[in-house]
Amino acid sequence: MTTVHLIEYEDANDEVRAVYDDIRATRNTDFINNFWKALAINPQQLRRTWESAKAVMAPGALDPMTKELIYIAVSVANACEYCIHSHTAAARAKGMTDAQYGELLAVIGMAHHTNGLVATLQVEVDEIFKVRS
Amino acid sequence: MTTVHLIEYEDANDEVRAVYDDIRATRNTDFINNFWKALAINPQQLRRTWESAKAVMAPGALDPMTKELIYIAVSVANACEYCIHSHTAAARAKGMTDAQYGELLAVIGMAHHTNGLVATLQVEVDEIFKVRS
Amino acid sequence: MTTVHLIEYEDANDEVRAVYDDIRATRNTDFINNFWKALAINPQQLRRTWESAKAVMAPGALDPMTKELIYIAVSVANACEYCIHSHTAAARAKGMTDAQYGELLAVIGMAHHTNGLVATLQVEVDEIFKVRS
Amino acid sequence: MTTVHLIEYEDANDEVRAVYDDIRATRNTDFINNFWKALAINPQQLRRTWESAKAVMAPGALDPMTKELIYIAVSVANACEYCIHSHTAAARAKGMTDAQYGELLAVIGMAHHTNGLVATLQVEVDEIFKVRS
Amino acid sequence: MTTVHLIEYEDANDEVRAVYDDIRATRNTDFINNFWKALAINPQQLRRTWESAKAVMAPGALDPMTKELIYIAVSVANACEYCIHSHTAAARAKGMTDAQYGELLAVIGMAHHTNGLVATLQVEVDEIFKVRS
Amino acid sequence: MTTVHLIEYEDANDEVRAVYDDIRATRNTDFINNFWKALAINPQQLRRTWESAKAVMAPGALDPMTKELIYIAVSVANACEYCIHSHTAAARAKGMTDAQYGELLAVIGMAHHTNGLVATLQVEVDEIFKVRS
């Protein structure tokens, strides 16, 4: 159960409504998901988070679907059920195929596996990997 | 410091050497990184892990660089220093540009951010996200 | 579902009852929450945990509400649903206002965000931060 | 080792310099810590992160030192060495006493302890904790 | 809710059926748990994971019940509800007594506790602990 | 670098010395490792932690070496470098063989692997696993 009451559009103040309006316009849908309605208890935090999300997840040097795959990977490692469901849905909406999902799954599993092995063995970083961009 | 002695090629048994040989042939280099030399204390585990990694990270429905980005994202969330360095180097070797790295960074930051917000608020999954492939 | 049967007062042995009695007396309520009833499967562990909790969460150099905010922050990062709900309720019972909760949320989100950025970049600690108390 | 070259003031572009200038003015010091110099590889991300941090960590319903304690608690759970050092230094700069630090330590330890116990036992949330603000 | 449709035996392709058959034969039961039915969306990943699990969890230098205790400990720290339940059931099936479970609980709690304390204090590794096998 | 000054025996107050004396007597060595010297900044927390550790890690329904393996598994998942080194050394001192260590490594890797797969797929707990002790 959410720790706060969700704030619906009709109960929102002007600052919150402005964000909701922008979410709707940007996504071309009237639907506002629970995350934003919960976050609205702190309108400044709502606005900052939405503006960052909009900028960060927009097409750029990485395509939007790839960004969703990265988002899922982080959310899995942080055991965030809501985030896993919402970004898996978003990845599918952005074109993720079943084959791509199957490979995402395998890479996430592999990464967790070797993260665990490396931490157990406390492997030291090879000099050759210490390259900088 | 690694918790075990690294096993060099010349000190390895036949099972370990066979894996080292395959790593070298697959990657077209004589270099074997510390992870495999540490993992070699359990030759069966070495072989299973290498064979899985080789299969999972090969080109498929997702391209190899995208797989490295996903690997980095998981490793960051698990705070695996070695894995972050080795897979950042691998992503660069597979063509990751500075602009792509900058966006990877932003998406990882954003995902951690909203993971934290969602967990604090215990947001419930919207019905609309409960889609299955 | 809890992995064990909850142990109610009437079914508890003397060691467990003594802890339940102290919880009730300390909190001035008859209510015993599920955590203690589950932990009672190991009476020594129950006693140690309760005695530590009672000592650690008591007023001291930090006030009890601040301690609850810290507790929530840890529980969020560890994705502990029960702990988030119980300590959010406790923080409110100890006077946390909606405005304070909104700021707690923002700080937790910010901390997760920069934790993710720092891990991705593997930033080295500035010498100036290496101060000791 | 940082995965990127730190960007010093003299090598920074105008967007980065504007952020560095604001960090210096806000903190009343010429010192820029490594985190910002690394983050500067993505100037938009640098600006967004700094502006959020400045807003979130400012005095409000929670005092700045309490916010640093929450930040430390999250950073500990995420095993972020840099963040632990930088925010422990910040908490001290904002007045954290040795006694307060000792209690912060105890609360963080306690929270991790019960997070682990609760997850093992998979304790279900008591109805009474399901209160909303 | 699982993000994919579970694949039942009758709907499975030959590669998946071969794994299901081996699971049934190895465990001497017709029951296939949800994990494998979900993983079957990627048949190669299903096969690799099952073969690794079969090899790793078999009796060896460590007995099967001890391996389950280690599995539970990892799953608790990663907040994996499914894994905690399935491996707690497996440990019991392999002979874990209530007394052993109670001690497992206490050790997991203690380990989380000191992990949190050590991270807060950033304790440096004593030279004497740097031994290698 | 530790965030506090380590407290040596000669500089310790009576409460801290009593714990140090008990550590030495219990372990039959004069050596006190850094963890306790750092924790000594909060003498009550030092005492509580030591007394709990002494009780929890003592022989019982689980043997001391098995307890160390569980401790390592938790510490790996929490990325606690100090804890991994100190408890790996402790496990060896309590008789862990190289073969046992190699299997511990494999189980920890496997558990991380399936934890990641399960979280990605959000697998629901099978009814059959919902057994209680």
Has residue B3 got a pLDDT over 80?
yes
Instruction: List subunits contacting chain C, requiring 3 or more Cβ pairs under 8 Å.
Output: A, B, D, E, F
For C10-65, the DSSP string reads GG--HHHHHHHHHHHHHHTSS---HHHHHHTTSHHHHHHHHHHHHHHHSSSSS-HH
Which tokens go with C85?
């709900």
What's chain F's average pLDDT?
Answer: 97
Residue range C59-126, CATH number: 1.20.1290.10
Residue type, E74: V
Instruction: Test B5 with E133 for CB contact under 8 angstroms.
Output: yes
pLDDT at E29: 94
Query: 10 Å Cβ neighbour count for B56?
Result: 23
Note whether B128 and A6 are within 8 A (CB): no
Question: Roughly how many angstroms between the first and final C-alpha of chain E, as a whole number?
Answer: 44
CA-to-CA distance for C1 and D123, rounded, in angstroms? 7
pLDDT at C122: 97
**Cα(F3)–Cα(F29) distance, integer angstroms:** 26
**Delimiting residues of CATH 1.20.1290.10 domain(s) in chain E:** 1-58, 60-125
Give the burial class of E95: count Cβ atoms within 10 A of its Cβ; 0-12 exposed, 13-18 middle, 19 or more buried: exposed
- Give the total residue count for chain C: 133
Q: What's the angle, vertex CA F11, arms to CA F6 and CA F13, rounded to 5?
A: 105
Is the Cβ pair A108, B74 closer than 8 Å?
A: yes
pLDDT level of residue D132 (50, 70, 90 thresholds): confident
A48, D52: Cβ pair inside 8 Å? yes
For residue E23, the distance in angstroms to the closest alpha carbon of chain A comes to 20
Q: CB–CB of A104/F92 below 8 Å? A: no
Model confidence band, residue F41 (pLDDT cutoffs 50, 70, 90): very high
Task: Kindly give, in sequence order, each residue whose CB lies less than 8 Å from that of residue C93, ignoring residues fewer than 6 positions away.
Answer: none
Spatial separation of the C-alpha atoms in residues A74 and E91, rounded to whole Å: 30
Q: Is D13 left (phi over 0), alpha (psi -120 to 50) or beta?
A: beta
- Chain A partners within 8 Å of E45 (Cβ): 102, 105-106, 109
- Three-state DSSP class for E30? coil
Distance CA B1, CA A129 (A): 17
Does residue B80 contact residue A118 with C-beta atoms inside 8 Å? yes
Instruction: Please check whether residue E99 is in contact with residue F61, taking contact to mean a CB–CB distance below 8 angstroms.
Output: yes
CA distance B12 to B43: 10
Contacts of A111 in chain F (CB under 8 A): 116
User: Could you read off the pLDDT of D96-123 as tens digits, one per residue?
Assistant: 999 999 999 999 999 999 999 999 999 9
CA–CA gap between residue F70 and residue E67 (Å, rounded):
9
- What's the DSSP call for residue E1? -
Nearest Cα of chain D lies from the Cα of A99 at a distance, in angstroms, of 32
Q: Would the pLDDT of E133 be above 90?
A: no
Is A129 within 8 Å of B91 (Cβ atoms)?
no
> Model confidence at B77, in pLDDT bands (50, 70, 90)?
very high
Would you give the DSSP letter of residue F129? G
Give chain E's contact residues with B (Cβ, < 8 Å): 1-5, 41, 44-45, 48, 51-52, 55-56, 125, 130, 132-133
H/E element, F20:
helix F14-27
Select from F45, F82, F107 the Cβ nearest to the Cβ of E67: F107
3-state secondary structure of E40: coil
Mutate which of A92, A98, A107, A113 to test chain F, going by most F C-beta atoms within 10 A?
A: A113
Contact C3 F133 (CB under 8 A): yes
With an 8 Å Cβ cutoff, the interface of chain A facing chain D consists of 1-5, 41, 44-45, 48, 51-52, 55-56, 125, 130, 132-133
Query: Is the model's pLDDT at B132 over the cut of 90?
Result: no
| pLDDT beyond 90 at B44 | yes
b/e sequence A10-38, b meaning 16+ C-beta within 10 Å: eebeeebbebbeebeeeeeeeebbbbbbb
CA-CA distance, F29 to F36, in Å (whole number)? 14
User: What string of DSSP letters covers E12-44?
Assistant: --HHHHHHHHHHHHHHTSS---HHHHHHTTSHH
Nearest CB neighbour to E115, from listed D112, D114, D121? D112
What's the CA gap between F81 and E29, in Å, rounded? 41
B114-121 mean pLDDT: 98
Crossing angle of helices C64-77 and B98-121, in 10° steps, is 130
Examine the predicted complex and report whether its ipTM is higher than 0.90. yes
E131 pLDDT higher than 80: no
8 Å CB contact of D107 and C62:
yes
* Domain(s) of CATH 1.20.1290.10: residues in chain C: 1-58, 59-126
**3-state class (DSSP) for residue F71:** helix
Q: What is the pLDDT of residues B9-33, one digit of tens each?
A: 999 999 999 999 999 999 999 999 9
Residue indicated by tokens 């650690």? C56
Calculate the CA B50 to chain-centre distance: 12
Chain C residues in contact with F125 by the CB 8 A cut-off are 1
pLDDT (mean) for D30-58: 97
With tokens 């903190």, the residue in question is D27
Confidence of residue E51 (pLDDT cuts 50, 70, 90): very high
Rounded to whole angstroms, the Cα distance separating D1 from C124 reads 6
Quote the CA–CA distance of D13 and D28 in Å, as a whole number. Answer: 22
CA atoms of F91 and F76, how far apart (whole Å): 14
- Euclidean distance between CA atoms F95 and D58, whole angstroms: 53
Chain B interface, best mutation among C68, C70, C88, C112, by max B CB count within 10 A: C112
The per-residue pLDDT for D72 is: 98
CB contact under 8 A, E45 and A105: yes
Closest CA to A56 of C62, F125, B112: B112
pLDDT, one tens digit per residue, over E12-42 is: 999 999 999 999 999 999 999 999 999 999 9
Distance CA D117, CA E6 (A): 31
Task: Give the residue numbers in F contacting D (CB under 8 Å), as ranges.
Answer: 1, 3-4, 39, 41-42, 44-45, 49, 74, 78-80
Dist CA A38 CA A24 (whole Å): 16
Q: How confident is the model at residue B104 (pLDDT cuts 50, 70, 90)?
A: very high
Mind telling me how many Å the CA of A44 is from chain C's nearest CA? 9
Q: Which tokens is C117 given?
A: 């950025």
Task: With cut-offs at 50, 70 and 90, classify the pLDDT of residue E120.
Answer: very high
**What is the full DSSP assignment across chain A?**
--SS----GGG--HHHHHHHHHHHHHHTSS---HHHHHHTTSHHHHHHHHHHHHHHHSSSSS-HHHHHHHHHHHHHHTT-HHHHHHHHHHHHHTT--HHHHHHHHHHHHHHHHHHHHHHHHTPPPPGGG----
D111-to-A43, A110, C35, D115 alpha-carbon distances in Å: 29, 30, 13, 6
Is D130–A41 a contact, with Cβ atoms under 8 angstroms apart?
A: no
Residue F132 above 90 pLDDT? no
What's the topology of domain D1-58? AhpD-like (1.20.1290)
Section F110-127 average pLDDT: 97
CATH, domain range A59-133:
1.20.1290.10
Nearest to C102 among A1, A41, A74 (CB): A41
Mean of per-residue pLDDT scores for chain D: 97
Chain-chain contact of D108 with E120 (C-beta, under 8 angstroms):
yes
Mutation choice for B interface testing from D3, D4, D5, D46 by most B CBs within 10 A: D3
Chain C residues whose beta carbon lies within 8 Å of the beta carbon of residue A39: 105
Instruction: Using the Cα atoms of residue B93, residue B98, residue B99 and residue B104 in order, give the sign of their dihedral.
Output: positive
Q: Contact at 8 Å (CB) between A2 and B121?
A: yes
Q: Burial code of F19-37, b = ≥16 C-beta within 10 A, e = fewer?
A: bbeebeeeeeeeebbbbbb
Residue D23 Cα to chain centre, angstroms: 15
Mean pLDDT of chain A: 97
pLDDT value at F86 more than 90: yes
Q: Average pLDDT, stretch C57-79?
A: 98
Q: Cβ E124–F83 below 8 Å, yes or no? A: no
Is the pLDDT at C131 greater than 80? The verdict is: no
Residue F114 CB contacts under 8 Å (≥ 6 apart), including other chains: A109, E35, E49, E53, E83
The pLDDT of residue B131 is 72
Q: Longest Cα pair distance anywhere in chain F, in angstroms? A: 58
Q: Which residues of A touch E41 (CB under 8 A)?
A: 98, 101-102, 105
How buried is A47 (Cβ within 10 angstroms: 0-12 exposed, 13-18 middle, 19+ buried)?
Answer: middle
Q: What residues have CB less than 8 Å from F25, skipping those under 6 apart?
A: none
Query: Does A46 score more than 80 pLDDT?
Result: yes
Residue F129 · residue E89 · CB < 8 Å = yes
Contact C80, D41 (CB under 8 A): no
The pLDDT assigned to D39 comes to 98
- Kindly indicate whether the domain formed by B1-56 is annotated with CATH number 3.40.50.720: no
Token representation of residue A129: 């990997």
Provide CATH code, domain D60-124: 1.20.1290.10
Query: Of A88, A33, A85, A44, whose CA–CA distance to A65 is shortest?
Result: A88
Residue length of chain B: 133
| CATH code of the region B59-125 | 1.20.1290.10
**In A, which residues are within 8 Å of E39 by CB distance?**
105
Cβ-contact A42, B83 below 8 angstroms:
no
Domain with CATH 1.20.1290.10 in chain B: 1-56, 59-125
- Enumerate the residues of chain D whose CB falls inside 8 A of the CB of residue E70: none
Nearest CA in chain A to D2: A132
d(CA A82, CA F73): 27
Which of the 8 DSSP states describes residue D125?
A: P
Q: Give the domain E60-125 fold.
A: AhpD-like (1.20.1290)
